[in-house]
């Protein structure tokens, strides 16, 4: 191989699993620059012939994950003819499984490679939580699986993100005495909204730390116990009108709150994960 070594990764599927394996192996050779070129969705012998020619020209390795028997056979034969080094990344494992299970694989690409549906649902939920965080866009109230409400610093955003990783779409709405809550909030179906609260003392501690982090004085009305008590009472009144379950986070971890919410999801069509 050359100073800048090249490994061609071939696949009749997406090829990301094969590429990750090659990268993991290449990382073991510190001080060697390895260029990995992935060619996905190989469909015919002509593509394989072209890649064999490229690999021979640069004295490169071809690592492949091919499920199509004819393509695999052609690659092995052509590589042997041209004296090109090839590595079958999945063949030995498939053969071992077949022997152990006494069953033949379906030999179809795109079955095990690439992220599964749960991956995309999780990403979608995370993007949703970011878009509809802190009342940025009230349209999220109708589209969300769950709506969280509460005064500032009651952990709405952290809980939203935690639930998003469980594939639950969450919108969160801040409650401020001077700002009327959106009308959509009072039209939610029962069980879709959860109110977050905590003791005034605990909330004051969190707000004081937040002000310090921002380089602001803790004397701000934002951290005064009287103001906090006023906000909490206002929020409790709103939660009562909405008819939502209330979770006190004074001594409860986000994980516990998330478990409670997931356990009380009314809409059985919501898909989520416990992992």
Task: Let me know: does 259 contact 273? Beta carbons within 8 Å.
Answer: no
The 3-state DSSP composition of the chain as helix, strand, coil percent (nearest 5) reads 45, 15, 35
- List, in order, residues 6 or more apart from 162 with CB less than 8 Å away: 254, 255, 258
Q: In the chain, which residues have pLDDT < 70? A: 1-4, 107-117, 266-275
Rounded Cα–Cα distance for residues 263 and 265 (Å): 6
pLDDT value at residue 34: 85
Please report, for the domain that includes residue 123, its CATH number: 3.40.50
Question: Residue 134 to residues 103, 171, 235, 243: CA-CA distances in angstroms?
Answer: 53, 8, 15, 20
pLDDT value at residue 62: 95
Would 196 be classed as within a structural domain? Answer: yes
Query: Domain of 83?
Result: 5-101
Would 247 be classed as within a structural domain? Answer: yes
Tens-digit pLDDT profile for residues 248-267: 999 999 999 999 999 887 54
Please report, for the domain that includes residue 50, its CATH number: 3.40.50.2300
pLDDT value at residue 117: 66
Let me know whether 96 and 123 are in one domain.
Answer: no
pTM of the model: 0.59
Question: Residue 243 to residues 44, 194, 236, 239: CA-CA distances in angstroms?
Answer: 61, 9, 10, 6
Number of domains in the chain: 2
Tens-digit pLDDT profile for residues 131-177: 999 998 998 999 999 999 999 999 999 999 999 999 999 999 999 99
Rounded Cα–Cα distance for residues 152 and 213 (Å): 16
pLDDT value at residue 112: 46
Let me know whether 13 and 97 are in one domain.
Answer: yes
User: What tokens does 3 get?
Assistant: 């100073």
Label the pairing between strands 61-65 and 146-150: unpaired
Let me know whether 42 and 132 are in one domain.
Answer: no
End-of-domain residue from the set 101, 129, 152: 101
pLDDT value at residue 190: 82
Let me know whether 138 and 215 are in one domain.
Answer: yes
Question: Which sign, positive or negative, has the C-alpha torsion 264, 268, 274, 275?
Answer: negative
pLDDT value at residue 267: 46
């Amino acid at each position: 191989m050359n100073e800048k070594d090249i490994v061609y990764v071939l696949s009749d599927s997406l090829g990301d699993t094969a590429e990750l394996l090659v990268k993991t192996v290449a990382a073991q050779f510190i001080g060697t620059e390895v260029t990995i070129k992935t060619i996905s969705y190989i469909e015919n012998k002509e593509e394989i012939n072209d890649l064999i020619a490229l690999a021979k020209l640069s004295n490169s390795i071809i690592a492949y994950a091919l499920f199509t028997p004819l393509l695999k056979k052609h690659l092995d034969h052509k590589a042997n003819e041209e004296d090109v080094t090839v590595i079958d990344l999945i063949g030995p494992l498939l053969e071992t499984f077949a022997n152990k299970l006494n069953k033949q694989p379906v030999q179809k690409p795109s079955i095990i490679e690439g992220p599964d549906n749960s991956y995309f649902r999780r990403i979608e939920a995370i993007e949703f939580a970011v878009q509809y965080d802190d009342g940025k866009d009230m349209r999220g109230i109708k589209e969300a699986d769950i709506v969280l409400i509460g005064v500032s610093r009651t952990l709405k955003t952290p809980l939203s993100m935690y639930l998003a990783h469980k594939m639950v779409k969450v919108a969160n709405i801040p409650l401020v005495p001077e700002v009327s809550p959106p009308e959509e909030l009072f039209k939610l179906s029962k069980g879709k909204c959860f109110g977050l609260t905590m003791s005034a003392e605990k909330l004051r501690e969190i707000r004081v730390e937040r002000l310090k982090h921002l380089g602001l004085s803790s004397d701000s009305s934002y951290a005064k116990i009287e103001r906090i008590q006023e906000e909490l009472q206002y929020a409790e009144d709103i939660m009562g009108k909405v008819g939502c379950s209330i979770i006190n986070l004074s001594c409860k971890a986000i994980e516990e709150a998330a478990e409670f919410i997931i356990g009380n999801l009314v809409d059985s069509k919501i898909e989520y994960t416990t992992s």
